[in-house]
Amino acid sequence: MARRKIPLTIYLEPEYHKHLEALATQWQKSVSMTGKDLIVQALAKERRPLTVNERLDRLEEEVAKIKAFLKMENGEDQDSKPKTKVNAKAKS
């Protein structure tokens, strides 16, 4: 049984189409794909719900950003122990 290609027609709003074209040109620089593949990939990425792993990844990224911000603001991590000077053993 021979596989045949089914033509793909996508109707988009003009501003959404511009957004996808920008994404397509950006992806073409890093990945060699055809324009149609890029549009299909972008549509799938834009319209599908996030998986649990993607949600967790985004949460981890946001937590890392917050920790970095707190570290910059206070000079030390909030989770780490307070920095105290430890006296060396007294000489006998």
Angle at 74 between CA 68 and CA 80, to 5 degrees: 70
CB 59 within 8 A of CB 51: no
pLDDT at residue 19, as a whole number: 72
pLDDT at residue 25, as a whole number: 72
Joined together, the tokens standing for residue 5 give 């290609």
Per-residue pLDDT of the chain (92 residues; tens, 9 = 90+): 566 666 655 555 666 667 777 777 776 665 555 666 666 766 666 666 778 888 888 888 888 888 888 887 665 555 555 555 555 565 55
pLDDT at residue 22, as a whole number: 75
Cα–Cα distance, 54 to 58 (Å, whole number) = 6
Global pTM reads: 0.32
Angle at 34 between CA 53 and CA 15, to 5 degrees: 75
